[in-house]
Structure formats: C-alpha cells, structure tokens
Amino acid sequence: MSAASEARLFLLGWNFRVAESAVRDRVAFNPEEVREGLSRIVGQGLASETVIVSTCHRSEIYGLAESAESGDGLREFLAQWRGLAVAEIASTGFWREGPEAARHLFRVAAGLDSMALGESEVLGQVRQALSLARETGSTRSVLHRLFEAAVASGKRVRSETEIGMHPLSVASIGLELASKVFGELSGKTLLVLGAGDTGGLFARQAVDAGVKDLLIANRTRKRAEDLVARIGGTVVAWENATEALGKADVVVGTTASPEPVVRRVDVERVMQERRGRPMFFLDLAVPADIDAGIRDIYNTFVYAINDLEQVAEENRRRRAREVPRAEAILEEELQKFLAWFGNLSVVPTVLDLKKRFEQIRDAELARLPAGDRERFQKIADSIVAKALHEPMRRLKSEEDPRRKLDRVEAIRHLFDLDGK
C-alpha cells in the first residue's frame, strides 16, 4: 500500500483461532473498558486513532500510528492494564499492518472470520465498535473510513451471496424445518418441554422468529416461570404436559429425562382429535424425549438431534462454497479503501490539487479568443502558483500527523480530488 509515510494502519488482536478462552477473557473489554482503553491509547500517544472490537470470541485493537514500534508500546500498555506478562500478550495474540490489517477487518465484518461462518451478529458489533470510538473521540478520518467501508462490504457480501442464508444452529434449523411444514409460525402453538439452557435458547429463538403462542412445561415450575418472565409465554404444569399436547402444533423436547416424556399412545390420541392435521416434533434431548414410534404416525414430522446436526453440516458446506464469491467482493471493496488511503499522502494530494487548478485554468483560457490566450497564459499561471503556494506550504510543514491527515482529507473532499 502506498499509504502516507506519516501513518500506518495496525491491528493487535486475540481471537478463538490463536488464543484460549482464559486469555481472551483477560483481554476482553466491556463498553466502559473500551471507552477507557480508547482514551488511554490515544492519550499516551500509542496511536493517533484507534477502535476496539471486543466480542465473546475476539478482542481486536485497530489503530493508526506514526512509529513502527507502536506494537511494543501497545503490548506493554495492555500487559500493565490487564495484569498479564508482556510475553503472554505477545505470544497469544497476532499483529497485522497495512493492507493485512484492513483486510482482516473486512473479513471479520463479513463473517468470514467467525466460528459460525457467515454469522450476521458480528456486522452489528463492528458498527457498535465504531460508534463507541466516535463517542470517545478516538477515531478520525482514516479509521472512520475504514470501518464504514468494512460495514458496507459486509452488507454487500450478505446481499450478493448466500453465505448467511443457511442456518447453522440446531434451534434455527428446527424452526426452519417447522416453517416448511406449517409456513408462517406466528399463528401456531409451540410447546417446549424443559426450561433449562437448551429449552430457554430454543424458546427465545422461537419468540424472535414470531411465535406468539408459546407454552413452557418444566418439572420445577419455578424455572418455567422464570423463563416466561424473561421472554413471555404461558407456564404449563408438568403434570398437565400430556394434556397440553392437544393444543400444540410444534413440540420440542429438551429435558434430561431417562425415558421419553412424549409417548406414542398419547400422540395417537391427539392426532385423532386433530383430524390428521400435521404435528411437528423436535427432539433436542439426549436420551430422547420423543418416542421413536411417533415417526410412524401419519402426518407427524419428527426430527432428532442427529438429524439436525446432519442438516447443520450440510449448511456449513453450502456456506463454505460461497466463500470465494465473498472474498472477491471484499477484495474489490478493500482496493477502493486502499486507493483512498494511499492518496492521503501529502505528495499525491499536492500533485492532484495542482492538476485540478491547472484544469480550471485551462478551461477558462479555452473560453478566450485564440489571440488572447497566449497573452493571459502567464497571468493565469502566476495566479495558480500564488493560490497554491500557501496551502501547500502549510500542508507540508504541519508537524502533527493527525492534523495533517485531517487536512489532506479535507482538501481531497473540498476539491473532489477523488472524483466522487
């Protein structure tokens, strides 16, 4: 990258690929810590601009620095702040500079660097990171442009490829399969057996998917009541769970029962009452909650955890096939950013500004009669030279790298030197 000699992009990060969770926990930042970190990094001169992306799977510090030694200073700062040895900070993290730092952010925003390939949540997290940096005042023209470009690229990947279209989580796959049976789920009744972690996660995703009639049954009623208080729905007494089958279109088993809690004989009775209307069963429990014989009943659809994992694996393969298309989009957008950043050097900007003034001069001279052009040429040349002299002198002599970049960007914008 022919970037400005005054500044270079950098990235210091830890993610699930290179650091164990114990280390990631030590370098993770909540929003208040992000604000503190941003202020201290800029305040101590470790970077002229900085943005921190911190999620459950990654902590990444992006910055703009004038010194090649900025990484050492940043590692020392983090070691002191987080109570870690500098050697541990260095050995468990990764360092990127220039185009590679920018390319990594673009991949993160598009979900290509996530545990779940193509996941969408990270795009919002990147956007939130930029928002926090703006609030703190730690980002200026370069990182603002970089993160905006990364977010726009991530959106483009999601709209032009299918990398995020095929669900990977068991709960999402289960809801998608139920939708294939019933169509819209908002008018259906869903019964969740078990209010533990799995049942709670599925119930929450069901509500997010538009399910309005949600029934929760759990052996310990208090746990079901707590879940309903958080996400909505209706508590069903455990002893009435079999009776509740008659109301349900979708039944999800998530208990730790050693025996099936949904018996074939009960479902046969319910299906007679439903006059053959379809019923969907999702068994997320091990051992199984749904009697295997229910699969043989007409118009029942039964999926066990193994079935869903097979679908998830196929969906992972389908997403992986979209990676080359996604990478081509990211590279195209990355090159646009790198071209813009490369033009932030003072010399290209001075030359582009001079060229723009000369274009204006030539256009105005062309309007004169041919006999007058030569006579006014020297005067026009003198005006251009004098008009450019002081701005160029001030731009070249500016000692503060941050102000220099801001002024270069302002000139390029005001005189439309990038042709936009």
Residue 68, pLDDT score? 63
Distance CA 413, CA 161 (A): 32
> Cα–Cα–Cα angle for 49, 146, 132, nearest 5°?
55
- DSSP secondary structure of 294-313: GGGSTTEEEEEHHHHHHHHH
Residues spanned by CATH 3.40.50.720 within the chain? 170-316
Say which residues have a Cβ less than 8 Å from residue 111's Cβ, sequence separation at least 6.
Answer: 117, 118, 119, 120, 122, 123, 154, 157, 158, 163, 164
DSSP-derived secondary structure letter, 273: H
Helices (H), 30-140: 31-43, 70-82, 86-92, 99-109, 121-136
pLDDT, position 4: 42
Of 292, 301, 314, 270, the closest CA to residue 179 belongs to 301
Provide the CA 281 distance to its chain's centre, in angstroms: 33
Structure tokens that stand for 168 in this block: 């990977």
- Record the tokens describing residue 340, joined without a space: 């813009």
Question: Rounded to an integer, what distance in angstroms lies between the CA atom of residue 80 and that of residue 362?
Answer: 60
For the chain, where do the domains classified as CATH 3.30.460.30 start and end? Answer: 8-164+322-342
What does CATH list as the number for 170-316? 3.40.50.720
Phi, psi of 112 (to 5 degrees): -80, -15
Residue 194's φ and ψ, nearest 5 degrees, are 110, 130
CA distances, 373 to each of 62, 357, 367, 383, 387 (Å): 53, 17, 9, 15, 20
Catalytic residues: 56
CA 125 from centre of chain = 5
Report the pLDDT value the prediction gives residue 6, as an integer from 0 to 100: 58
Structure letter (DSSP) for residue 289: S
Q: Which fold has domain 8-164+322-342?
A: Beta Polymerase; domain 2 (3.30.460)
Mean pLDDT by 10 residues, the chain (420 residues): 61 90 87 96 94 93 83 93 91 92 96 89 95 95 95 96 87 91 93 94 92 96 96 96 94 94 95 92 93 95 91 91 97 92 77 88 90 87 89 79 76 82
How far is the CA of 4 from the CAs of 42, 67, 138, 245, in angstroms?
19, 12, 19, 68
